[in-house]
Each structure stands twice: as C-alpha cells, then as structure tokens.
Amino acid sequence: MTNPRQLAFITLRNVHKGAYADVALDRVLQKVSLPDSDRRLVTELVYGSVRRQRTLDTLIDQLAKKKSDQQPQDLRTILHLGFYQLRYQERIPASAAVNTTVQLAKENGFSGLTGFVNGLLRQYLRKAGGENTPLSLHTDPLELPENPVERLGILHSFPDWIVQVWLEQLGLIETEQLCEWMNQSPTIDLRINPLRTSIEEVEAALQSAGVLIRRIPHLPQALRFIGNTGSIQKLPGFKEGWWTVQDASAQLVGHLLDPQPGEVVIDACAAPGGKTTHIAELMADRGKIWACDRTPSRLRKLQENSQRLNLQSVQICTGDSRHINQFQNTADRVLLDAPCSGLGTMHRHADARWRQTPASVRELSVLQRELLTHTSTFVKPGGVLVYATCTLHPAENEEVISAFLAESPDWQIEFPSGVELPDSTDSTPQGWFKLWPHRQDIDGFFMVRLRKTNNSE
C-alpha cells in the first residue's frame, strides 16, 4: 500500500490512540518503499494535521451539524486531512484534495458518509471564494472570536494557556509572530567537529554533493541546511564523524559553559548527547566528561555518537542526577540541561503543544529545582554551572533560578565575557539569556551561567 494519504491516515489514527507523532510516522514509513516526494507528502500531512488540530476541529464545529468531538474519531481524522490540504497546501489542487478525501472515507468504513464529506469540504471552498480561487486569494471561512487569547489559539492552533504565557511576556504582535514561526517546518542545523575537519572542508563536501547550506552568525561550528537534504546519514562526512546534527541554540549552551582542556565536566542530563559531544570538542577531547542520564537506551545513543565523532573523554554514568552522590565538589563545570516542557521547540515536535499542560509544567518545575539544588553540589568552589532549557515558560526558567539563588548565598549569576550572542538575544539585567525563535530564527532557549564563590564550604 503506497497511497500517501492512506499512510497519513493510518499514522494519524495511531497518534490519536496516544503514539508520538514522529514515532508513529517512522513506523509507517519504514514498512513501505516510497519516492521522496510521496514521503514528504505523508510527513507534511501528518505533522500539519497534528499541529493544526485545533483550527481544523473549529472548522468542523462551524461547518458541520455535529461538533468535531461528536464525530467518529476516524471520520474526524479524514476531515482533518481534507481541510488541511484545502487550507494550507498551495500545491494541491482543491479538486484533488476533495476527491482524495472522499476516497479515504469510502475506503475506511464511511462509504455511507461520502456525500457528507464532499459537501462539507465544498461548503468550505464556496465560503473561501470557489474551487478555482488560489489559496493566497481565499476569503477565510474560519470565524474567530474577539478575545485575543482564543483568537490566536484557534487561528494558529495552540492551547489557550500557551498563548497566555507568551502574551504576558511578549505582547500581542510578537506573540502572533511566535505562533506563526512555531507552525513552520523546522530547519536542520549541524555542528562541525573541529577535531576531525574544518567548516570550509564540510562546506565544500556538502556543496559538491549538491546540498545547499549557509553559516550561522556568531557560531563558529554551525551550518544550516537549506531545502531538502535526503537521508542525513548518507551525506558526506556523517559516517566519518565530521559533523553532527544540533540546533544553533543548543550549540550556544556549550559556548556559554566554556569548558577548558583538562577539566572535569559533568553533563547532568546528558542523553542523547548533543551537548556532551560539543563539550568534548570544545575541550579538544582532553579532560574528563561525565555524561549522566537515567535512561540507558538514550545513553546508548550518546555512546554511538561519541564513537562516530571519535571522542575519548566521555564517561557514562547511569542514574538520576538528583540521587547521584559520588560527585560532591569534584567538577570544574556542570551543565544542567534540564528536562522541560519544550515550548521553545514545538515546531520540531508536532504534538508537544497538546501533550503539555499547566499541571505538567508545575511538575517539571519541581523536578528542575530538585536537579539544580543537587547538581550544584557537584561543583568545586570557584566552579561554574550552566542551567539551560528549551522552554519559554518563566515557571521553568526565571522562577527556578530566582528560587535557587534565594536559598544559595554562595552562588551568583555570572555575565559571560567572550560569548558572542545572536543579534537581539534577550539578555536581561539579571544576566540570563532568552532566545526567542521569531527574533533569531533558532529554537527557543533559556540559559544562565552561575558561579560558586570560592569561600563556599
């Protein structure tokens, strides 16, 4: 079976049963042999339908007699696919979107409802200006409420609570820009391994393979792919360990930590190892890096990455960093890249916006405080700890740091000299950094460098 829309439907059915979107998609694509263009279509339809779920449900609510949550789940998924193509896919002709969706209904147990599916999608098209009107000239059939939180939530398909968290920090105009940014397809950045190669060498190898890339300002090891790359593992230099995939924001964390050759460094939540291997590269692979994590399967991935990059200085430590006790006062530097809600990377994880809740954020902030309190004991007097997350929620960032500093008089924020930051980075008077995706075109991150005073016992 190689029909891209049927494959997308099967994937989405699994997502609605609780599977992670990327895992469900991988599972389906591994079983079939598809041309690249069809693989891209399946991927686009799955991630797009998951991302835009709230908007697509609202269209069903407004156009059908029965609300979306009263429709049979499989039929609702089929309608999502149809509306997604009509609303967001310029390359797919409206007639093709309607006909293939009707066909999906017929083949998946809804042959008695093909008239309903056809009528609903055509009603949308009529309201938008007709079947032959290009997408860019559509009148939007979606009716939006006045309330700004709900309006942005329905239009850009986010839960109200996330929109609220951003509005409080950014105001209306920038919140809308951030919502739009989070709905784009993610770019892929790589980090060259200076122990094996140079950025010029990697550029030349990729260009000769016909892959378009560009450099990223302020990050000496970073390149960004432009357009489609095909399979990452097959690109020149991957097997040889010349480079690894890592977003620009995450690369900045390593530079903020600024590890030096010969030091002892602990990466407290290390797997799958992007930042650990970066630390090893920055230390010229000289010194000792303890990579701690409580998930053995993710640590195996870290070991594979270290081996591919030919790094010797990384040691594995399996366990929860809240309960590891052998590192008291041993580390020159500690990185705590804390587990978080991931609100800064939702463009990469299509379903993250529906999985997190205000309650899960509260639970995470407790975990983050416990991790910070315990891992700070790993640092020698005079040493450094960097706290980082890929979320944009103050409860997981500023509030965690403020609470820690209030009860830890021997720690202070250190404003790093010599670290180049991307333009318009939000570096606050308090000394922490926030990377806002719509301003810098990189993942959303929070990071702060703390130093333990020498007189701490």
Tell me the pLDDT tens digit for each residue of 73-93: 999 999 999 999 999 998 999
Q: What percent of the chain has pLDDT over 90?
A: 85
Picking from 80, 99, 88, 78, the residue whose alpha carbon sits closest to that of residue 6 is 78
- Per the annotation, the verdict on 390 as an active-site residue is yes
Q: Does pLDDT of 403 surpass 60?
A: yes
Q: Does pLDDT of 428 surpass 80?
A: no
Higher-pLDDT residue of 230, 161: 161
User: What single DSSP character describes residue 382?
Assistant: E
Picking from 371, 374, 369, the residue whose alpha carbon sits closest to that of residue 325 is 374
Q: What is the distance between the terminal CA atoms of the chain, rounded to a whole angstrom?
A: 66
The structural architecture, per CATH, of the domain 189-245 is 2-Layer Sandwich (3.30)
Distance (Å, whole) CA 455 – CA 188: 44
Contact between residue 34 and residue 45 where contact means Cβ atoms under 8 Å apart? no
Q: What percent of the chain has pLDDT over 70?
A: 97
Q: Does pLDDT of 299 surpass 70?
A: yes
Cα–chain center distance at 2? 29
**Which residue among 179, 269, 292, 390 is the active-site one?**
390
11 membership: H or E segment, kind and range: helix 4-16
Picking from 291, 288, 308, the residue whose alpha carbon sits closest to that of residue 196 is 308
pLDDT at 431: 82
Among 121-130, 160-169, 273-282, 375-384, where is mean pLDDT lowest? 121-130
| Mean pLDDT for the stretch of residues 125-143 | 85
- What's the whole-model pTM score? 0.92
User: Which residues, listed in sequence order, are joined to residue 244 by a DSSP beta bridge?
Assistant: 191
Distance (Å, whole) CA 450 – CA 88: 45
Q: Does pLDDT of 327 surpass 60?
A: yes
Contact between residue 212 and residue 185 where contact means Cβ atoms under 8 Å apart? no
**Backbone torsions φ then ψ of 143, nearest 5 degrees:** -95, 130
**For the stretch 361-399, what's the b/e string if a residue is b when 16 or more beta carbons lie within 10 angstroms of its beta carbon?**
beebbebbbebbebbbebbbeebbbbbbbbbbbbbbbbe
Q: Which CATH number fits domain 4-144: 1.10.940.10, 3.40.225.10, 1.10.10.60, 3.30.1320.10?
A: 1.10.940.10
- Tokens 């580390």, residue located: 331
pLDDT band at 455 (very low <50, low <70, confident <90, very high): low
**DSSP conformation letters of 265-276:** EEETT-TT-HHH
**pLDDT averaged over every residue in the chain:** 93
Helix, strand or coil for residue 285?
Answer: coil
Between strands 379-389 and 445-452, the pairing is antiparallel
- Tokens 């799955």, residue located: 46
**DSSP conformation letters of 318-362:** ES-TTS--TTTT-EEEEEEE-----TT-TTTSTTHHHH--HHHHH
Q: What is the CATH number of domain 248-452?
A: 3.40.50.150
| Mean pLDDT for the stretch of residues 41-48 | 96
Picking from 411, 2, 416, 437, the residue whose alpha carbon sits closest to that of residue 177 is 437
pLDDT band at 415 (very low <50, low <70, confident <90, very high): confident
| Mean pLDDT for the stretch of residues 98-126 | 96
pLDDT band at 421 (very low <50, low <70, confident <90, very high): low
pLDDT at 230: 77
Helix, strand or coil for residue 177?
Answer: helix
pLDDT at 291: 96
Distance (Å, whole) CA 167 – CA 92: 34
Q: Does pLDDT of 420 surpass 90?
A: no
| Mean pLDDT for the stretch of residues 161-184 | 97
**For the stretch 140-178, what's the b/e string if a residue is b when 16 or more beta carbons lie within 10 angstroms of its beta carbon?**
ebbeeeeeebeebbbbbbbbeebbbbbbebbeeeebbeb
Q: How many CB atoms lie within 10 A of CB 26?
A: 11
How many helices and strands, by DSSP H and E, does the chain display? 18, 13
